[in-house]
Amino acid sequence: MISIIVPVYNAEKTLKRCVDSILKQSYADWELLLIDDGSTDKSKELCESYASNDERISVFSKKNGGPGEARNDGLNRAKGDFVTFIDSDDYIEQGYLQILLDRMFDDVDLVISNYGGCVCDHKQASKWNLINTSNFNLLFEANERCYIVPWGKLYRKRILTDNDIHFIAGMGLGEDAVFLYTYMLCCDNICLLQDNAGYRYDTESENSLSRKSFPLTVELFSYEQVRKAIDKLIVAKSLADKTAIGRLNGLKAFFVKRILNALYYSGLQRPERMKILKEIEVDLYVQANRPVSRLEKLYQWMLSKHFYYKYDLLRSGIASVKKL
């Protein structure tokens, strides 16, 4: 049986499309765990309506804590041999679950659907790569959603339980990637489909969370968790491919940029800010960032030369002016 976990928060406009797509699956041996994350609209009532009409559907409510906490709640309740995640604003094509399950061979620990392009049928789904330590870099030649997000994948519940893998609380962003990399550390073989198995991602919600600002303490904690997970993955999978490492370092750089932006609205004094500047991987940010304005180019030049004091002086001065 497959346990399908759907975190739900104020999703009354898209939830019907999501659940209806699950009900239409050609593979029928599943349970659907709808985790209401403190919705204030009619999402909970809609969930309960579906549960009353299909015994495979269960609804659980909790105080709002974000999608990671909701998924953890679902993982604790999941009874299936396999687990998959679907976001409440997304939906899946009719053969999605069957295609993923068909590629969960005895020696495979994780099945990943590619993203974008045409949805594959069962015949096309025969195109896949078996990923292990010897060719782990192939994973990073696929769409980035293959190695950053938790959805579009089929997991073994046994591996999740035996290794106590869950979404880390307290992270503003990056909890999805950390969850996935932690799971990958426990995988001997990964099946990567060359085509999309039928996961339909709602692009209207894209980047909504990434634009949200978090306190500096949260940004630092998120960066540290992502950094540790990536470093462990690179060592454990013997990654040496420049493209693979470049993409993973690009993810680190994204979090460094967020720290740099939060640093000058944190209330910290210069000695504390200087300490943080010297501890985070600024060079990765310099390599990945593409400044546009003259001011951004000046910032980047200062960081590339490790002129942290001058950089801090300029940025703190500009931040002070903006507060006036």
pLDDT, tens digit (0-9, with 9 covering 90-100), for 180-200: 999 999 999 999 998 889 999
Cβ 114 vs Cβ 218: under 8 Å? no
Question: What DSSP string runs through 67-123?
Answer: HHHHHHHHHHH--SSEEEE--TT-EE-TTHHHHHHHT--TT-SEEE---SSSBP-TT
Which tens digits make up the pLDDT trace of 76-134? 999 999 999 999 999 999 999 999 999 999 999 999 998 765 555 555 555 889 999 99
Which tens digits make up the pLDDT trace of 260-294? 999 999 999 999 999 999 999 999 999 999 999 99
The structure tokens listed for 41 are 């609209």
> What residues does 224 pair with on adjacent strands?
none
**What pTM did the predictor assign?**
0.93
